[in-house]
Amino acid sequence: MPIATVNPANGETLRTYEAMGEEEIERRLQLAEATFRTYRTTSFEERAGLMHRAADLLEADQDEIGKVITTEMGKPVKQARAEAAKCAKAMRWYADHAAELLADEEPAESDVKDSGGSRALVRYRPLGPVLAVMPWNFPLWQVIRFAAPALMAGNVGLLKHASNVPQTALYLEDLFHRAGFPEGCFQTLLIGSAAVDDILRDERVRAATLTGSEPAGRAVASTAGEMIKKTVLELGGSDPFVVMPSADVDRAAEVAVTARTQNAGQSCIAAKRFIVHTDVYDAFVERFTAGMRALTVGDPMDEETEVGPLSSEQGVTDVAELVDDAVRGGATVLCGGERPDGPGWYYPPTVLADVTREMRIHREEAFGPVATLYRAADLDEAVLIANDTDFGLSSNVWTRDDADVDRFVRDLEAGGVYVNGMTASHPAFPFGGVKRSGYGRELSGHGIREFCNITTVWHGA
Distances 96 to 47, 84, 93, 100, 124 between C-alpha atoms, Å: 10, 19, 5, 8, 17
Cβ(312)–Cβ(266) below 8 Å:
no
> What crossing angle do the helices spanning 77-101 and 141-152 adopt, rounded to 10°?
20
Q: Which of 192, 221, 90, 82 is closest to 147 using CA atoms?
A: 90
Q: Provide the residue type at 290 as one letter.
A: A
Distances 42 to 38, 125, 151, 184, 204 between C-alpha atoms, Å: 7, 12, 11, 14, 20
The helix (H) or strand (E) run that includes residue 80 is: helix 77-101
The single residue of 33, 83, 234, 450 carrying the catalytic annotation is 234
Note if 335 is an active site residue. Answer: no
Cβ(292)–Cβ(261) below 8 Å:
yes
Note if 268 is an active site residue. Answer: yes
> Cα–Cα distance between 105 and 87 in angstroms, integer?
29
The single residue of 185, 268, 335, 452 carrying the catalytic annotation is 268
Ordered alpha helix ranges (H), 102-140: 109-114
Cβ(413)–Cβ(393) below 8 Å:
no
Pairing of strands 396-398, 438-439: unpaired
DSSP 151-215: HHTT-EEEEE--TT-HHHHHHHHHHHHHHTPPTTSEEE----GGGHHHHHHSTT--EEEEES-HH
> Cα–Cα distance between 273 and 386 in angstroms, integer?
8
Q: CA Rg, the chain, in Å? A: 23
Cβ(383)–Cβ(411) below 8 Å:
yes
Cβ(396)–Cβ(242) below 8 Å:
yes
Cβ(154)–Cβ(129) below 8 Å:
no
φ and ψ at residue 342, rounded to 5 degrees:
110, 175
DSSP 268-288: TTSEEEEEEETTTHHHHHHHH
| Residues involved in catalysis | 234, 268
